[in-house]
Structure 1
Amino acid sequence: MLATLDDQTLAFRKDVLAGLAAPVPAIPARWLYDRRGSELFDDITRLPEYYPTRTETALLQQVMPQVAARLPAGAAVIEFGAGSATKTPILLKGIHPAAYVPVDISGDYLRASAADLQREFPNLEVIPVVADFMRKFDLPGGLDGLPRIGFFPGSTIGNFVPWSATNLLRQFRDLLGDRSKLLIGMDRLKDVDRLVAAYDDPRGVTAEFNLNLLERINRELGGDVPVDAFAHDARWNEMMSRIEMHLVATRDVTFEIDGQRFDFAAGASIHTENSHKYGPNGARLMLLAGGWTPIAEWTDRQEDFAVILAEAQPERFAP
């Protein structure tokens, strides 16, 4: 048995043990992002095959004056996920908020990212919050009276199946409150070959990112998973309109995690991530169902990616 665990590791343990024992083994994608996983994802965003980051970054740079014109001055920006070195500064420079609150489950990575942004914006109050934004959490004190702007870039909403994405958007609406705004990125449907290439690069960085989950299980949960017995696989699910990432057993394998045994036959997989792709109508309908009314939308010239600004529906009208 493991020694006394902190709350985050207990949640990780619970999700891993339950997920691997499920009829269709799966582990929630948020556990891909320990410090190493977050560093590898940053590497992924710079790959030529991975179009979302550079497309969204260029789009934000282009439309930020239009975005800023629709947002209140002196607001508190709450970013769900640690701020990136590229996209977050575009927003902060464009709207000059009074406070910036990045929220992320990876404490070490969050604090490092927040420190970098604090150096870049010395006059901005940067208040990192270590939390799983999928679950309810409290905002720090000192934000009372400030308009609130949620920032959810990177098409992270695509990692969630539609019902959980809608619930997450409702949670954001409840947290941010009446008259708040949400600026969100969503990846668009496109050629399947381009989609698969973005999640299975020839350099193997995405494979390393996916396999790092097994390394994390061994390190943090006392597992003995033979990492070399699994291979990264990215596949398009047409019916679900999503890219799926899996870890596929390359041979029959048995391992233990915290005293619990697991057997995987060759070809069996652990489902680790989804990335849903949306058309314009689907994206707007999901926001509406989540308690947000779209008020402006921008896309790049190829319509590969969309940035949508929405406002919180009045509480009496929220679903």
Structure 2
Amino acid sequence: MIIAKARAVDGPDQQFRSAEIKRRDLDTSDVLIEIKYAGICHSDIHTAHGDWGPVNYPLVPGHEIAGIVTDVGTGVSKYKVGDRVGVGCMVDSCGECDNCRKGEEQYCLKGNIQTYAGVDKYGEPTQGGYSTHIVVTEDFVVRIPDNITLDAAAPLLCAGITTYSPLHHWGAGPGKKVAVVGMGGLGHMAVKIAHAMGAEVTVLSQSLSKKEDGLQFGAAHYYATSEPETFEKLAGSFDLMINTVSASIDINAYLSLLTLDGTIVNVGAPAEPLSVQVFSLIGHRRSFAGSMIGGIRETQEMLDFCAEHNIAPNIEVISADQIDEAYKRVLASDVKYRFVIDTSTI
């Protein structure tokens, strides 16, 4: 076994503490990664707080992982020691179902194995990136392009692919009007990526406090949803809307902003249900959809796209001692725009 230092939490109301966790010895197809940086995702907070159901504590969150390969199994062909690599929200899947064969492992019919709060094929609980090392099968490791720094690369492994995938799937590009709901960790990436794809981007945020940032990231327009006239002015405007908010919103109001055949895609994951009126959909053949991350192939495609277009998240690098404070600040929307843990401080 490989012993890694980590930061773990023991319950929904507990603070993070120093810990040691066991990483398995390398199997034939495994890669050992020395983690350099780990992003903090809202999903980490939901899971650590038990918002999405029972959690097998102690828990080490983190599924935005960037690091360096330090060892490989005897059968590994894709990576070598010294490679710059990343790991996202999943570390394995069945590899045999229709979805896996299509390269959509995130929708594995048998359930993919999550990077943390899951159970691996050896029957052991998975622990995530708030740690110094991780062992992952090579098929779930991606290569980080040379012109993306490791600290900036980390959030791309969740925030980047979570927004790239629906924008790619629903055809964001020239001639398309795309709205991004929320200007947080996910939202600011959606703006940058949609703009790079060639779409006309509008940000819909509670206030105008981040307007200057939004326009700098590539948005053509920026509106405050707290102003009632916003919904009147923008009715029927957008071909595609990416909702990045991890809290309950009035979906019906946002559906009214879609064009004929327009789609709103939820990538934020609030703990509470969202209520949709059927008439909000059938009036203009509108769609309300959801999207998870992306498959491994698409995640690599996203990284290469970001490298080509010089896209990187705006980050604030913190020490491991600041995780609890960072969680509070995320919940208070007090971060521009993603916290990244320097794992050398663990």
TM range (shorter): 0.3 to 0.5
Query: Taking CA–CA contacts closer than 8 Å with sequence separation of 6 or more, which of the two structures ends up with the larger relative contact order?
Result: 1
TM-score (norm 2): 0.31
Bigger helix share: 1
